[in-house]
Amino acid sequence: AQRVTQPEKLLSVFKGAPVELKCNYSYSGSPELFWYVQYSRQRLQLLLRHISRESIKGFTADLNKGETSFHLKKPFAQEEDSAMYYCALSRYNTDKLIFGTGTRLQVFP
């Protein structure tokens, strides 16, 4: 069965420190991977997806098929990055999203 694992419930860093939010998945095919973010009192929104290969708000994520990982990274965290981050997987075009349990990122001043 498809599964997304985010091992950290909470990640706390100071402003300017590097950040890595871990995501591992299990799926035998070629999935599409996403990172969604939910800022305080806002709705869930797409941050980035692996096929886009773009950097959003300084965040990047590389799909590593060998390690079945899609970790989210940012070299210098900002206070406004504090939010809940969810990694998600889909198997094909209109497929449902399979979410991890989420990691809360706290960036202290």
Partner 1 sequence: NAGVMQNPRHLVRRRGQEARLRCSPMKGHSHVYWYRQLPEEGLKFMVYLQKENIIDESGMPKERFSAEFPKEGPSILRIQQVVRGDSAAYFCASSPPTSGKGQETQYFGPGTRLLVL
Which positions lie near partner 1, rule CB under 8 A?
A: 4, 6, 32, 34, 36, 43-46, 49, 51, 86, 90, 92-102
C-beta of 12 vs 52, nearer to partner 1: 52
The Cα 90–Cα 102 span in angstroms is 16
Residue 22: both structure tokens together: 């871990």
Contact, 102 vs 84, CB < 8 A?
yes
Angle at 38 between CA 13 and CA 57, to 5 degrees: 65
C-beta of 5 vs 60, nearer to partner 1: 5
Place of tokens 């009192």: 41
C-beta of 15 vs 104, nearer to partner 1: 104
Q: How far is the CB of 70 from partner 1 (least distance, A)?
A: 14
C-beta of 67 vs 92, nearer to partner 1: 92
